A = this chain, B = another copy of it.
Amino acid sequence: MTLDDLPTPCLVLDQAILSRNIRRMARIAGRQGVPLRPHMKTAKSVEVARLALEGQPGGITVSTLAEAEYFNAHGITDILYAVAIAPAKLAEIGRLASAGAAMTLVTDDAEVAGLLGGHPAVKRVLIEIDSGEGRSGIAPQDGLLLDVAARLGGRLAGVLSHAGHSYGGRSEAELTRIACLERDAAVTAATHLRDAGYAAPVVSIGSSPTATHADHLAGVTELRAGVFMFGDLFQAEIGTHGIEDIAMTVLTTVIGRRPGRLVIDAGAIALSKDRSTAAVTTDYGYGLVLDNLGRRTFAPATVGHAYQEHGVIARDETGAPDLPVGTRLRIAPNHACLTAAAHDRYFVVDGAEMVVATWTRVNGW
């Protein structure tokens, strides 16, 4: 099977780039002396998880319980569910535990901590620390930290922070500063807990930009980066990787050739409506237009409009060539996690036209 045999729109995953990205992050983590607990929220695929776990302890991070169930069923049992747990989800945690999963949960709430501390299905809980993003988590100096710890009791396993505000970083120096804030917040919180008599062995931080930019990670015990595996235009713009490191693209077909524009069959569902590159130096619209083999032959042509199943490439504005209906293109995404979410599989290539494998992914909740 070659690229020409694939139904469009679909996801194409370049194995060579994927492996290079994974090796690069493993080197960064190795240099920092911190193991990876790869975040599988982007790839949601066991084949990708196995590649990302090479040389690592074996635990993963997930963003949904559907991912937890899927990875556990595929033999990856050490699972951190990195979204704060709601009480109604504990029944599912119980089912996962019965099915062999070793789940670690997260909370930043005193009432929930009280429930988790006495729940038979709950083994390990991390307290979420706010390192400055202002989304979830407890500030390290907040008295609530010790209250939550007391309610968790023997279930307390440590702390977790996610510097989501690193996505707002626009320079190497700013990203390094945010990475240090994330590390310091997590390490400080863990120190407070240990000073109060808790073991708190786990200090989990993560995001691909902070993992890439931290000056040191002393005191951190695991890194939860995820999007680095596939890369995307936004991460390239903020310097997490180069634009040539984008491993996942959307294969599409030209379905209309009208004056001054091309219409493609990758629209708002296939690409997502993520417009994160609107906030960085280069605005890629709904994605960068590549040729059938993923090369930047037509750069800087972008997808300017995204309707449900139609994408429009304005030729006049972007310099895209006039191409006949039926031409196949690939679109590099703004945000790989959201683009991938509309698709149920990856068609895997190795820098060329042959499709060497099909890997499924788990969606939903």
Which residues from chain A sit less than 8 Å from chain B, CB to CB? 4, 7-10, 41, 63-65, 83-89, 92, 108-109, 111-112, 130, 134-137, 164, 253-258, 261, 263, 265, 268-270, 272-275, 305, 307-310, 312, 324-326, 337-338, 341-344, 363-365
CA distance A364 to B326 in the complex (A): 20
List 23 interface pairs A-B (beta carbons < 8 Å), by A numbering: A8-B86, A8-B365, A10-B365, A83-B310, A84-B263, A86-B255, A86-B265, A88-B253, A89-B253, A108-B258, A112-B326, A130-B258, A134-B261, A135-B256, A135-B305, A135-B307, A136-B255, A136-B263, A136-B310, A137-B258, A164-B307, A273-B274, A344-B364
State the majority secondary structure of interface residues on A.
Answer: loop
Q: What CA separation (Å) do A360 and B161 show in the bound complex?
A: 37
Across the interface, A85 reaches (CB within 8 A) one of B85, B255, B305, namely B255
Contact B308 A63 (CB under 8 A): yes
Query: Which residues on B sit within 8 Å (CB–CB) of A265?
Result: 83, 86
Copies held by the complex: 2
Q: Which residues of B contact A343 (CB under 8 A)?
A: 364
Once A135-B307, A308-B41, A310-B136 are accepted as A-B contacts, the answer to whether A108 and B275 lie under 8 Å apart by CB is: no
Chain B residues contacting A261 (CB-CB under 8 Å) are 134
Given contacts A86-B265, A265-B83, A326-B86, contact A310 B135 (CB under 8 A): yes
- Residue on B nearest A312 in the bound complex, by CB: B135
Chain B residue nearest to A164 (CB atoms) is: B307
The one of B7, B273, B310, B324 that contacts A275, using a Cβ cutoff of 8 Å: B273
CB <8 Å contact, B83 and A255: yes
* Given A7-B365, A63-B309, A109-B257: 19 more A-B contacts, CB < 8 Å: A8-B88, A9-B365, A63-B308, A83-B310, A84-B263, A87-B326, A88-B253, A109-B325, A112-B325, A130-B258, A135-B305, A135-B307, A135-B310, A136-B255, A269-B338, A275-B275, A342-B364, A344-B363, A344-B364
- Which of A88, A255, A326, A343 has the most chain B CB atoms inside 10 A of its CB? A255
Counting chain B CB atoms within 10 Å of each CB, the highest count among A64, A305, A343 belongs to A64
Choice from B64, B269, B275 contacting A341 with Cβ under 8 Å: B269
Q: Are A7 and B92 touching (Cβ within 8 A)?
A: yes
A251 to chain B, nearest CB (A): 11
CA distance A9 to B65 in the complex (A): 11
